[in-house]
């Protein structure tokens, strides 16, 4: 096993993929949008060669592209991608994944024919021509391909919008596995999926220039101050009304930290009341807090995200809408995020409000132990060449971590693209170093401070699962966010599948292949396209194969 690892090891690189799990509020006015990267891929297919043509999808794509530009999104190809065949669609999706790395928000929009087969959703390129069920794999685009690119990029928020719930265009060809409309997909962490209509139902293409769904959506997303959940809620109501209840848009979402606006809230200045000048300062502060509470409540009241109501209860424990928020938390499942129930909150007395707080003496400040800055020349066990290579470490952005071994191996990870958190970089550096050294390493530095004790090397072993049943939460080298999104997606995917990884955290998956061998080759090939790191198979189907010795090496040993 160890000899195999040594042969598969690669040069140490400090490359990472994007991750940010901190709580934040996205604001999307002209100034705010410039502070974050938003990337969108917009596809619209109308000119089908072997399926009924659709008049509106290219118009829908153009309308959405205009709205997304106005909301600060960078479009792949600089424009909506129209009437693409399968090869061009795959290239566009790959470009989307590459551009999305390090971005804050990724959005994928598709208008055109779509269908589900055996519970999997497919988009139809204009070249699609299904003669039999086996053609599905070779002619169509699995929506999971887009989801995997988003998971690999690890942007803060991903939005997938599918205006593709029309009738199956190949319904008369005996495709028994096909079902009406699209299947509902579970939204991975940090993802919102919007459908033109509910799962299994069929949406209208529209009698006008645009479909009813896209027409409503392209307008709703440009209303200032509307959160993303408000936008989808408004669209759902508008389409349901315009269709007489026949078409009801659908949203699948995971908990989203913070609030995202396509266009941020607009500040409204109103004339103060006549007695404002004589109002006590505490009354002004109270009014400001009430305005803040009202803005917060208006942004979440139509949401089905339990976490937003829990956040309201934590921020406004005596708020006007506490009973409603508590009821919504209970309705959506769970308790009120640590906020006490209304019956448990102690009443606040007038005397307590009037009396000044009793000052509490602060504990005597303990002198902070001065941090030892990283001096590359002083790092033990390393060769001169290794120290030269590490000269760039002090200039890397935080969070970052450097691990070393007594054999002279080292590995570092950093936050080059607003990516991994501190736990990620520490774990990844230790795993990378341990895999190379074939023994536990230790953390030498975290950020710009030396953390290794002056008394000497203390091993810090980390788990690297090399055999057994596949577990998304134990995949090494990748970030925690990748485990929760990309690795969980891999576990759900059907058919013969494979996962390839690199020590630097890059990964690629394939699924629904005819054999294990085909899946292995395809995963390694796709992984190799993502960078210079050497790729290695981590899983085949649902078993971990990292420690398996390839047949050619077994022959050499014999």
pLDDT at 552: 53
In this predicted model, which residue has the larger pLDDT, 529 or 410? 410
pLDDT at 290: 58
pLDDT at 74: 94
pLDDT at 10: 30
List all residues 6 or more positions away from 321 whose beta carbon is below 8 Å from its beta carbon.
293, 297, 301, 312
What token pair was written down for 256? Answer: 């989203």
| Percentage of the residues of the chain whose pLDDT score is greater than 70 | 71
Q: Is 124 a domain residue?
A: yes
Query: Distances in Å between the alpha carbon of 130 and those of 135, 137, 175, 218, 364?
Result: 6, 10, 9, 32, 76
Residue 272: beta bridge partners?
Answer: none
Q: Which residue has the tokens 């909506």?
A: 80
Query: Distances in Å between the alpha carbon of 265 and those of 260, 299, 308, 316?
Result: 10, 10, 17, 20
Helix (H), strand (E) counts: the chain: 18, 20
pLDDT at 182: 76
Listing DSSP states for 425-465 in one string gives HHHHHHHHHHHHHTS--EEEEETTEE-S-TT----------
pLDDT bin (cut points 50, 70, 90) of residue 37 is confident
Examine the domain organization and report whether 313 and 385 are in the same domain: no
Q: What does the pLDDT look like over 428-461, one tens digit per residue?
A: 999 999 999 999 999 999 999 999 987 789 999 9
Model pTM?
0.54
Mean of pLDDT values over 488-501: 87
Label the pairing between strands 157-163 and 191-195. Answer: parallel
What token pair was written down for 27? Answer: 């604001």
pLDDT at 278: 37
Examine the domain organization and report whether 397 and 425 are in the same domain: yes
Q: Is 194 a domain residue?
A: yes
Mean of pLDDT values over 498-510: 89
Q: Are 419 and 505 in contact (CB under 8 A)?
A: no
pLDDT at 304: 67
Look up the domain containing 481 and give its range.
468-557
* Ranges of H-type helices in 123-180: 135-139, 143-153
Q: Is 539 a domain residue?
A: yes
> Of 292, 325, 343, which residue constitutes the final position of a domain?
343
Is a pLDDT exceeding 60 seen at residue 176? no
Q: Is 292 a domain residue?
A: no
Closest CA to 377 of 364, 363, 391: 391
> Of 397, 424, 450, which residue constitutes the final position of a domain?
450
- The helix/strand/coil state of 310 is helix
Closest CA to 112 of 134, 145, 141: 141
Examine the domain organization and report whether 512 and 432 are in the same domain: no
Domain count, the chain: 4
Examine the domain organization and report whether 395 and 529 are in the same domain: no
Examine the domain organization and report whether 481 and 395 are in the same domain: no
CATH code of the domain covering residue 67 = 3.40.50.1460
- Ranking 9-18, 184-193, 240-249, 289-298 by mean pLDDT, the lowest is 9-18
Q: Are 144 and 197 in contact (CB under 8 A)?
A: no
Examine the domain organization and report whether 191 and 314 are in the same domain: no
Mean of pLDDT values over 253-262: 82
Cα angle 209-212-213, degrees, rounded to a multiple of 5: 120
Cα angle 171-174-180, degrees, rounded to a multiple of 5: 35
Three-state SS annotation for 526-553: HHHCCCCCCCEEEEECCEECCCCCCHHH
Q: Is 283 a domain residue?
A: no
How far is 342 from 442, CA to CA, in rounded Å? 49
How far is 168 from 117, CA to CA, in rounded Å? 10
- The helix/strand/coil state of 260 is coil
Q: Are 218 and 235 in contact (CB under 8 A)?
A: no
Is a pLDDT exceeding 70 seen at residue 4? no
pLDDT bin (cut points 50, 70, 90) of residue 516 is very high
pLDDT bin (cut points 50, 70, 90) of residue 292 is low
pLDDT at 259: 82
pLDDT at 87: 94
Q: Is 362 a domain residue?
A: no
Examine the domain organization and report whether 244 and 195 are in the same domain: yes
Is a pLDDT exceeding 60 seen at residue 342? no
How far is 98 from 92, CA to CA, in rounded Å? 10
The chain-wide mean pLDDT, for the chain, equals: 76
pLDDT at 350: 29
Q: Which of 203-212, 271-280, 456-465, 548-557 ranks highest by mean pLDDT?
A: 456-465
Q: Is 523 a domain residue?
A: yes
Cα angle 64-66-71, degrees, rounded to a multiple of 5: 90
Q: What does the pLDDT look like over 184-194, one tens digit per residue?
A: 676 667 889 99
Mean of pLDDT values over 500-510: 88
Listing DSSP states for 329-360 in one string gives HHHHSS--TTPPPTTTSPPPPHHHHHSPPPP-
Q: How many CB atoms lie within 10 A of CB 91?
A: 14
Closest CA to 249 of 257, 266, 231, 237: 237
Judge if the upstream peptide bond of residue 399 is cis by omega within 30 degrees of 0. yes
Examine the domain organization and report whether 203 and 335 are in the same domain: no
pLDDT bin (cut points 50, 70, 90) of residue 408 is very high
Q: Is 272 a domain residue?
A: no
pLDDT bin (cut points 50, 70, 90) of residue 314 is confident
Examine the domain organization and report whether 446 and 475 are in the same domain: no
List all residues 6 or more positions away from 138 whose beta carbon is below 8 Å from its beta carbon.
none
Is a pLDDT exceeding 60 seen at residue 35? no
Examine the domain organization and report whether 73 and 190 are in the same domain: yes
Examine the domain organization and report whether 135 and 242 are in the same domain: yes
Examine the domain organization and report whether 7 and 58 are in the same domain: no
């Amino acid at each position: 096993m160890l000899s195999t690892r040594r042969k598969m090891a690669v040069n140490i690189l400090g490359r990472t993929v994007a991750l940010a799990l901190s709580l934040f509020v996205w604001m999307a006015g002209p100034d705010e949008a410039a502070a974050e990267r938003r990337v969108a891929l917009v596809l619209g297919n109308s000119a089908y060669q072997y399926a009924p043509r659709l008049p509106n999808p290219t118009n829908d794509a153009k309308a959405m592209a205009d709205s997304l530009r106005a909301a600060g999104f960078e479009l792949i190809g600089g424009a909506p991608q129209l009437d693409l065949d399968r090869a061009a669609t795959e290239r566009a999706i790959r470009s989307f994944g590459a551009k999305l790395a390090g971005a804050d928000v990724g959005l994928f929009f598709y208008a055109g024919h779509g269908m589900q087969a055996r519970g999997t959703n497919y988009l139809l390129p204009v070249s699609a021509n299904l003669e039999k069920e086996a053609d599905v794999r070779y002619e169509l685009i699995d929506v999971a391909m887009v989801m995997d690119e988003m998971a690999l990029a690890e942007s803060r928020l991903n939005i997938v919008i599918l205006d593709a719930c029309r009738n199956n265009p190949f319904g008369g060809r005996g495709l028994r596995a096909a079902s009406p409309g699209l299947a509902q997909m579970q939204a991975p962490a940090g993802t919102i999926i919007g459908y033109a209509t509910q799962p299994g139902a069929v949406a209208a293409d529209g009698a006008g220039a645009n479909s009813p769904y896209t027409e409503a959506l392209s307008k709703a997303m440009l209303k200032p101050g509307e959160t993303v959940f408000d936008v989808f809620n408004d669209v759902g109501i508008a389409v349901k009304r315009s269709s007489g209840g026949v078409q009801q848009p659908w949203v699948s979402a995971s908990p989203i930290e913070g609030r995202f606006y396509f266009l941020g809230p607009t500040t409204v200045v109103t004339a103060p009341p006549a007695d404002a000048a004589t109002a006590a300062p505490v009354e002004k502060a109270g009014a400001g807090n009430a305005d803040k509470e009202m803005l917060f409540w208006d942004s979440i009241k139509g949401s089905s995200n339990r976490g937003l109501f829990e956040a309201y209860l934590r921020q406004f424990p005596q708020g006007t809408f506490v009973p409603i928020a508590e009821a919504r938390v209970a309705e959506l499942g769970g308790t009120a995020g640590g906020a006490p129930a209304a019956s448990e909150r102690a009443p606040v007395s007038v005397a307590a409000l009037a009396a000044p707080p009793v000052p509490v003496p602060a504990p005597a400040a303990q002198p902070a132990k001065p941090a030892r800055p990283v001096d590359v020349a002083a790092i033990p066990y390393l060769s001169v060449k290794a120290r030269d290579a590490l000269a760039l470490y002090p200039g890397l952005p935080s969070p970052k971590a450097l691990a070393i071994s007594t054999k002279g191996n080292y590995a570092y990870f950093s936050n080059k693209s607003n990516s991994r958190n501190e736990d990620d970089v520490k774990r990844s550096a230790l795993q990378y170093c341990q895999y190379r050294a074939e023994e536990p390493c230790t953390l030498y530095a975290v950020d710009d401070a030396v953390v290794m004790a002056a008394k000497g090397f203390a091993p810090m072993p980390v788990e690297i699962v090399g055999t057994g049943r596949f577990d998304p939460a134990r995949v090494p080298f990748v970030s925690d966010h990748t485990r929760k999104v990309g690795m969980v997606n891999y576990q759900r995917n059907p058919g013969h599948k494979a996962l390839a990884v690199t020590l630097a955290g890059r990964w690629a998956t394939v699924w629904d292949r005819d054999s294990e061998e085909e899946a292995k080759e395809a995963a390694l090939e796709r992984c190799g396209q993502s960078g210079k790191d050497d790729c290695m198979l981590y899983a085949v189907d649902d078993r971990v194969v990292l420690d398996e010795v390839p047949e050619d090496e077994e022959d050499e040993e014999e």
